[in-house]
Structure 1
Amino acid sequence: MRFAVLGNLTHAAIVEVAPRWLQWLSDRAEVVIADDLAAYLGVVSPRVTVAPRDSVHLNCDMLISLGGDGTILATAHVVGRSGVPILGVKFGGLGFLVEIGPEELYSALEAILAGRYEVQKRMVLEGRLRNAPEAATLYALNDFVIDKAGQMRLVRLKVMIDDEYLNTYISDGLIVATPTGSTAYSLAAGGPIMPPEMKAMVITPICPHSLNARPVVIPDEKTVMVEIATADTQAHLSADGQPARRIVSGMCVEIRKADYSVNLVRKSGPASSSFYDKLRAKFHWGEDLRK
């Protein structure tokens, strides 16, 4: 089996853990590590191959992402359409996408090497800029965010579902999220929690200037069209927190379900935890917090 490894270079704990288990894993499988992570770690096993970050996943059976949910999002953008399954190892804070902690690395990898794991498909969104000087197509595992680009005043965003007018939101911005992204920025903005296997997306306004503006869940076969509804106004479009693109009046963002999925590795058997287990653990549901 051939593993690729990427990591978040801001987590010092990775330096303490990674060299030892990379040595362990390279005794049992082929290992390819991203060049920036190799430089960050300093010394790695001579049996570990180093490759450019953007191509580290090529010809690999699985990609190990060291960090948090943000690292998995960045990893998903590297993997793209290749379909290489991603195993998230938690070195960050609150996370719904990471599957195991550093203390579980050895047991989890032994199970994976023995074929005891599951792969869960996660929906991806495709966003296209229309009427822009340069055509662009972006992809998001979590969400697309259109915001007011640092301006003090609110932005007016006209939203169409297929060819039907939905609303013009006067707000700080708008989030279009997948079920995976429903527990991220959309949730903080008041959106609903959706199970990852749900075939839907959610449109969530950011700080709308109206109590009537509410999140809307729509089927995943629909297309969302968002355009700036006032002249001489600009906004920013970002996908999964990646560097934003400037959009101005007259441009349109077209968002739909992409024609590929991201594959996330999950533990199988008694060691596995469900989405609802994670909700209880992260939000302390079922506990009396009034004490």
Structure 2
Amino acid sequence: MGGTVMRVLVVWDERSSDAQRAAQRVKKGVAQYADCEACAVGRCGRIDADVVVAVGGDGTILKTAHLLAGVEVPVVGVNVGRLGFLTDFSADDFLQSLPDVLKAKPSRRMMLDVSHQDASWCAVNDAMLVRVGPPRIAHINLFVNDRFVTTYAGDGVVVATPTGSTAYSLSAGGPIVVPQVRVLLVTPLNPHTLTNRPLVLPKDAVVRLEPADGRTEIALSVDGQVDVAVRQGESVTIRASQHAFLLVERQEFFITLKTKLTWGGSPRYGKR
């Protein structure tokens, strides 16, 4: 850091008293090595720090990413939630890793630039168009590089990053993609056909989604942090961002995949 004192911001999930207590422990430990401030993630303003420590679950990581809005600051996730796929450290792991964890080289995670009307956002996991209201089929047109591809009929469509490939897209039948690969995933949600399968698109693809008709209410969700109504005649454009989300990892991706999602287990054969 060129002799300057490192600035660390600790944020926590304000809905969790456990996260708040863990954040105070983390702040006390970090303060021995850096200037440290702390705030609830929902009450933080503009982030001005060299490193952010997000204490909570994956939702806390995503909220932190939206506060950063594409600014490339390393984020360390401390898990006090349930699954914690992105929050790789326990509080004890983190404290035992000080001060090296604050200087660790982060993984550069691909992000999405998402725009609708005059608004725009960055996404770490995904952006999706989903039906809301009564359980009617949503019809959503997919364009890639301004060329019409298909009309999905179902509950919606998810466009995910490789990081988001282990989130909602995975639950909808999408493939797992390692974070170092720069591609866009297009995964239909409960398609009303046997032939609509997920697509893997190159990093320079520009995806456009739009309601095919006005019979079903449709909303745009960005990382579960933004919910906006999308009406017939409007469209959502999604492309790979020039910015990256910098995530400090404790262990290799496939280890996390096995320990968190029990991926790749061997069959348990009975005795013959």
TM-score (norm 1): 0.85
CA distance in structure 2 between the partners assigned to 1:78 and 1:249 by the alignment: 30
CA distance in structure 1 between the partners assigned to 2:210 and 2:52 by the alignment: 37
Alignment of 1:218-237 (within 5 A): 218-237=201-220
Q: Does 1:276 align with 2:254?
A: yes
Q: Does 1:28 align with 2:17?
A: no
Aligned to 2:107: 120
Aligned to 1:103: 92
CA distance in structure 2 between the partners assigned to 1:228 and 1:214 by the alignment: 19
Moved over 6 A (4+): none
Contact kept? 2:70, 2:122, Cα under 8 Å: no
Is the deviation greater in 220-229 or in 25-34?
A: 25-34
The one-letter code sitting in structure 1 at the alignment partner of 2:67 is: V
CA distance in structure 2 between the partners assigned to 1:123 and 1:170 by the alignment: 28
Alignment of 1:1-291 (within 5 A): 1-34=6-39, 36=40, 53-55=44-46, 57-58=47-48, 60-112=49-101, 115=103, 117-130=104-117, 135-267=118-250, 273-284=251-262, 285-289=264-268
Contact kept? 1:147, 1:235, Cα under 8 Å: yes
Determine what percentage of the aligned residue pairs are the same residue: 33
Q: 1:144 is paired with a residue of what secondary structure?
A: strand
Deviations 1:198-256 (A, max 9, x none): 11011011111101111111011000111111145431001000131001111111111
Cα 1:180–1:27, aligned 2, differ >3 Å: closer, same or farther?
A: same
Shift of 1:289: 5.0
CA distance in structure 2 between the partners assigned to 1:233 and 1:170 by the alignment: 11
Contact kept? 2:71, 2:243, Cα under 8 Å: no
Shift of 1:2: 1.3
The one-letter code sitting in structure 1 at the alignment partner of 2:18 is: A
**Unaligned runs of at least 5 residues, structure 2:** 1-5
Contact kept? 1:176, 1:202, Cα under 8 Å: yes
Contact kept? 2:163, 2:177, Cα under 8 Å: yes
Cα 1:119–1:22, aligned 2, differ >3 Å: closer, same or farther?
A: same
CA distance in structure 1 between the partners assigned to 2:61 and 2:84 by the alignment: 10
Contact kept? 2:132, 2:216, Cα under 8 Å: no
RMSD of aligned C-alpha atoms? 1.9
